[in-house]
Amino acid sequence: MTRLSVNINKIATLRNSRGGNNPDVVRTALDCEAFGADGITVHPRPDERHIRRQDVYDLKKVLTTEFNIEGYPSPDFMQLVVEIRPAQVTLVPDSPDQITSDHGWDTVANRDFLTEIIAELKSNGIRASLFVDADCLMVETAAKAGADRVELYTEPYALDYIRIGPEQAVKSFVEAALRARDCGLGLNAGHDLSLQNLAWLKKNIPWLDEVSIGHALVCDALYLGLEKTIKEYKKCII
């Protein structure tokens, strides 16, 4: 079964734009769980422009599904996740001022650094996932660094799905997914996945463990409502 983890960063962005606590990030996360989400994803950035550190603590207290925290493994981030001990940490190579993730790790160049970070996560009972491009070498080296899973960065797939068609768009992702499976890695995917392209990805990579979706899901919820939107995304990954 492929699990749907809902990224609630955009809910926090909306809240922060006006101050106060509307929409309530914790309440929204609990509603997502009630509506069928299999997990909640957050990406607390150093400037707290969306998810705040306090949100992470508040969510940990109440979530009953799998909690996934994304971020660059700075000392502050590592201190946070070791305190929280979520089910999964997804390591991303983002700079502090980056608007959103736009590339995966160079696991070859950063292998020693990542090996040390992954060991620390696993020693604290946290599953370690590395955000990588659909590149077989990057996947292989993620396994050598000790990762439990990789998360394929799917923006190129989403763009090519429209630009050159679904069949061509998914090819390199299937190759990377096969390599991950051969290496014994679990497989996640995320970034720009939507109701338009998600089912095709799942059809071609049926062993996906998890998809993490935020921006498109929140945009769809403006029209469909949150409950119906989550149900529609779940249909895509059955």
Determine contact, residues 143/185, Cβ cutoff 8 Å: yes
Please say whether the dihedral angle defined by the alpha carbons of residues 184, 217, 51 and 110, taken in this order, is positive or negative: positive
> What kind and span of H or E run contains 201?
helix 198-204
**If you ran DSSP here, which 8-state letter would residue 225 be given?**
-
**Letter for the amino acid at 78?**
M
Q: What is the dihedral of CA 201, 4, 48, 10, to 10 degrees?
A: 80
Buried b (16+ CB within 10 A) or exposed e, 75-87: eebbebbeebebe
218 Cβ neighbours under 8 A, 6+ residues apart: 10, 11
- Tell me the catalytic residues: 43, 70, 191
**If you ran DSSP here, which 8-state letter would residue 102 be given?**
-
Residue closest to 185 by CA, chosen among 135, 154, 139, 133:
139
